[in-house]
Amino acid sequence: MAIPKRTRKKTVRARARSGLAAAPIDKGFDAVKYYFHLDIDKKDMVSVMKTYIKNHFKKNDQKAILSNPDYKFWNMTHYAATAFWVNTNQPETDQTKKYSNALQKYLEDLIEPGKDLLKEKAEESKEKGNVITFSPMQRLQRKISNTIMQDLIDLEDEWIEGETTTIDIYNLFKKHGLSGSATIPVRELIEGWLTDYEDAYEKRCDQAVEGYSHLKRPELKRRVKACQDMLLDLDRIKSAAKASRNVRVKQPKAADKQISKVKYKKEDTEFKLVSINPIQMVGKSRLYIFNTKSRMLTEFITESTNGFEISGTTIKNFDTVNSRTVRLRKPDEFLPLVLTKTPNQIDKEWKSLTTKSSVPNGRLNVDTILLRVLDK
């Protein structure tokens, strides 16, 4: 009898957390300030400050404040740390209240300078309104007309004079710095030539035959071949443009922005449970949540290199095959295991449950306790 092979359960390698998601909020405000001073880059600090401004100022004031240069938002790291603390709904202390008041005053002082900057920009825009500007498409059309189209006109003049010249469309596009989109008008012109020459050569159109009656058949055949070669070059240019096109990679939002609209239950006295801070979910690989109303326990697992991402009130990037949810008949007995045991131990106990598991939908609500997160 053949011995069945043991299958190893696929696991996700733990990743070191960095950036805003790794801020040591559990160690207190002073630790967060120190972390911002050493490990948070300018871009993240600006993002945190902008989130705070949008949540604490009216629209007109927001616009004025945000018109100030970015260095106004990252040169004071303690203000960025304070904004992060407030954005993530951390508990207020006498110390954080003092810093919050100072941050509010600092941003309020940026309103008037911001209004002056907006006024200057409006005046500059008004002055620019008197200058004729061309759209990107108009600029491209002008460039095509002044470069490759002129080359084709010169070629046609040479053919009219009886010369048997050709041009290298592919290299001319490179020389003039033309993109793949420039092939469209050029193709229309060459295809028009090709149709006329083929109609004359194949004697399909009386007008074409009469119009090119001065040309011998070998010359008509040569021009047909030249047009076909130029069209093939245009196909190569278009393919090369597609191959070299940059692929835009969507960057995940900052952790504090992702959780700004998350709905969850901070504490439940019936089951004696307290939620972790939702920012800890971002970038993690395993998450346990419990709905106190429906008594549904859910385990989310992701194999994404970015870990979990949060959009509104929904968890993204979780694996629908390995993630699961189940209704607990005896929550008081099972939940302590989820809070203390390893994933393998939890899996063993989960499999012993008589209730059938199903696929979770990823949504969070006001009855959801965020139990625990793990890196693997």
User: Domain spans of the chain?
Assistant: 19-125, 136-242, 259-374
Q: At what angle do helices 136-146 and 183-202 cross, to 10 degrees?
A: 50
Whether 13 shows a pLDDT value over 60: the answer reads: no
Are 202 and 195 spatial neighbours (Cβ–Cβ below 8 Å)?
A: no
SS3 18: coil
With bands split at pLDDT 50, 70 and 90, how would you rate the model's confidence at 12?
Answer: very low
E strand or H helix at 268: strand 267-268
Numbers of helices and strands, H then E, in the chain = 16, 8
pLDDT at 15 over 50: no
Q: Is 314 helix (H, G, I), strand (E, B) or coil?
A: strand
Residue type present at position 65: I
Which among 308, 315, 306, 250 has a CA at the least distance from the CA of 15? 306
**Range 24-38 average pLDDT:** 89
Neighbouring residues of 187: CB distance < 8 A, sequence distance ≥ 6: 231, 234
Residue 232 has pLDDT above 90, yes or no: yes
* Higher local confidence (pLDDT), 64 or 255: 64
pLDDT of residue 317: 86
Q: Is the pLDDT of residue 108 over 60?
A: yes
Q: What share of the chain is helix, strand, coil (3-state, %, to 5)?
A: 55, 10, 35
Q: Which position has the higher pLDDT, 9 or 78?
A: 78
Which bin fits 89, alpha (ψ -120 to 50), beta or left (φ > 0)?
left
What lies within 8 Å, CB to CB, of 22 at 6+ separation is 35, 39
Spatial CB neighbours of 107, under 8 Å, sequence gap ≥ 6: 52, 53, 56, 57, 65
Distance, CA of 207 to CA of 28 (rounded, Å) = 88
Asked whether residue 362 carries a pLDDT value surpassing 70, the answer given is yes
What's the one-letter identity of residue 224?
Answer: V
Confidence at residue 247, expressed as pLDDT on a 0 to 100 scale = 64
Rounded Cα distance between 132 and 185, Å, is: 25
Mean pLDDT over the full length of the chain:
87
Confidence at residue 85, expressed as pLDDT on a 0 to 100 scale: 93
Q: Which residue has the higher pLDDT, 76 or 341?
A: 341
